Structure 1
């Protein structure tokens, strides 16, 4: 059952009701504009940067029939959808910034000064029947609409390479993934503008859903298999060879981009499927909404694990062992490939809104430090050699230590004797 919040603290001079639906995908906040903004300010104060807000207004073109129905069920004309990192949600429930119990809640929000007064107290209220279903519909549509941050860069990156990527992922029978994406975007745009989904439009794209599910899984499997092939125990020259294959032959970065496009296509298709069922089979709407939300949750889990594994393996793979420094510094290709793959993982994380999903909240801090260093401290030294900076790229993040002290000895062997075993230990 949805959690909807309304505010209830009496004030004769200024009373305003706020409604908040608390769901795993985020919060649907509704009320008059000033109360909604006041609540968002409080969320930002408590959640810092781990918050994303998408505007929803039943009077705007972006307010489709489904969104408008959800706001109407909450008795409001204005609202926002807010994504929060999971840990922020737990913290704000603890301090009653958002309600801790499931269900529909409400409260009166403001005093005469236009501020929340003291501790927020959420009052539970009933929400059932068509009102509850309208809320579920609204949350599902917004969650699907905002699951992918942006696809323009991904489309540009894979242009002319889609067939090769699909062949690598053993998904060549799928067809024109980018073309399907554009077609689905146009159909959804028409739905958002007119509130209508003609049968002819639905019939033209209805078969795409199952194919898109297949291509998403095949692309993800190809990425997973490539990442699992990283072996940080191998010598640097072998690591360089495998990384080059992963970047150039297996097209790991382009596959990540195509995965984003395919997932966005599938979410667009699910939005259209929900609308089609709403119009023609309303008795099945609740089930269709539930399956779409379950799919979103499964994709988030799978993509989060993919990103974490990729970041961990890359950080370990890039670790410099003391006796490898000469080979490392002579391997420009290895450095370029490592930096490229770091950028590819960062692009995927951005597209999938990883910050607000909290995917890296429990990552070993050394992993983030290691990846932050990659590419940031490669600079020319003596024309050809490279200084790696003052901090380590090892996942253990113990610092360069010995490497930092001895780097000029290695790059200019005639000026200093080679380090002894005791030096290497120290």
Structure 2
């Protein structure tokens, strides 16, 4: 598609350039590589963001990031890629963009012509497939995997601060004590990765210092995730509310579910950095094995996204079930002073884990039952003053539960309300109502 009327401020020479320039788009399993002139790429990304909303993550790719790909694919592939952006989209968003003809539906490079000065595309986008040799294709795959490994985790700064002083206990709980100092290993890997990013070099001494970490980190990630899964599996919404509250407190305080999720994020990013350095080492010393190593890194990323997604969805569902108040449980829920704290704390832990792993882009909760989101939104949002303590019980569920009991439900609430007033005026200890 060529723009027929490019408005100012472009000169006639600029208009000729823009009319003939193009962008190159390569759809890879890890994300979409977009390159071309700055104006064309900016317009294309604006269109993607307009349609995909929050389910998109864009990472800038400069020339230094193409060093490894250029070494594999040669100058031709590097020129094909140029400078550009790496875009991660949820699977549903990618399908939508392909159906709208905003994204090519096949692998390899697809070219298209440019946007106008307002960064808007006019009419249908047209694609021209560009055939690539296996070597050039490997170079593009290498670049996509390297960027995906680097951006798979959004940030670990908060996670590192959260787990300080508790790492050893968490590893013992997860039966992963042989992993060693997860935070220290992450710092070492981050330093080496930063030097490589800045210089393009991976000295033998640097690689030798981290070479043995990969397998241990992989075992640690698996065991931390398994500990989190076992803890979540213990949530049983059919148990009496007092038992559920007790288990929830144990999961938060003793099993350290929140800290486990944070340590899992740190261990995963460490493993991804190690994989990135491993790819660079193989590229430089054993290029004949590069394709195999790239494939294994791709498989690892996919496996982790799938398993972390399953863990998050299951945990959110179980927590939402815990937030549902059954009619006969109203009084006991309102007399459990620690419940608000533990429910709110765990909900925040799940949100932090989802954000660190880019859940919106991964599309993990796109098909989640809306009732789960509603229940979690209620946790901690409203409180009822009962017995002098504000306890978040999920007001929607409580109201439904009381109305389900009719006259009895309303009177239970009235009794609880009266107790709260008496305690506030006379400062007497609460009277426990037995079930």
Task: Output the TM-score relative to the length of structure 2.
Answer: 0.87
Task: Classify the secondary structure of the residue corresponding to 1:209.
Answer: helix
> What is the CA-CA distance between 1:390 and the residue it aligns to?
4.9
Matches within 5 A, 1:221-236: 221-236=226-241
Q: Residues 124 and 399 from structure 1, CA distance in 2 versus in 1: closer, same or farther, beyond 3 angstroms?
A: farther
Matches within 5 A, 1:74-85: 74-85=79-90
Match of 1:140 in 2: 145
Q: How many residues align?
A: 402
| Counterpart check, 1:294 vs 2:296 | no
Match of 1:341 in 2: 346
> What is the CA-CA distance between 1:401 and the residue it aligns to?
4.8
CA RMSD between the two structures? 2.4
Per-residue CA deviations over 1:75-121 (Å, capped at 9, x if unaligned) read: 35320111111111111111110011233211212358764231011
Work out whether residues 162 and 259 of structure 2, in 8 Å CA contact, stay in contact via their aligned partners in 1: yes
Match of 1:3 in 2: none
> What is the CA-CA distance between 1:174 and the residue it aligns to?
1.4
| Counterpart check, 1:263 vs 2:259 | no
Q: 2: distance between equivalents of 1:264 and 1:365? A: 31
Match of 2:156 in 1: 151
Question: Of 79, 84, 93, which aligns to 1:88?
Answer: 93
> What is the CA-CA distance between 1:74 and the residue it aligns to?
4.7
Compare the two structures and name the one with the higher helix fraction: 2
Work out whether residues 283 and 290 of structure 2, in 8 Å CA contact, stay in contact via their aligned partners in 1: yes
Match of 1:272 in 2: 277
115-124 vs 235-244, greater mean Cα deviation: 115-124
Question: Of 29, 38, 57, which aligns to 1:33?
Answer: 38
Q: 1: distance between equivalents of 2:25 and 2:388? A: 60
Task: Output the TM-score relative to the length of structure 1.
Answer: 0.88
| Counterpart check, 1:216 vs 2:221 | yes
Per-residue CA deviations over 1:243-278 (Å, capped at 9, x if unaligned) read: 111111111111000000000000000000000001
Q: 2: distance between equivalents of 1:90 and 1:216? A: 31
Task: Classify the secondary structure of the residue corresponding to 1:27.
Answer: strand
Work out whether residues 144 and 267 of structure 1, in 8 Å CA contact, stay in contact via their aligned partners in 2: yes
Q: 1: distance between equivalents of 2:127 and 2:410? A: 60
Q: Unpaired segments of 5 or more residues in structure 1?
A: 1-7, 416-426
Q: 2: distance between equivalents of 1:393 and 1:360? A: 26
Per-residue CA deviations over 1:219-258 (Å, capped at 9, x if unaligned) read: 1111111111111000011111111111111111110000
Work out whether residues 386 and 416 of structure 2, in 8 Å CA contact, stay in contact via their aligned partners in 1: no
Per-residue CA deviations over 1:270-290 (Å, capped at 9, x if unaligned) read: 000000001001111111011
Matches within 5 A, 1:161-200: 161-200=166-205
Match of 2:336 in 1: 331
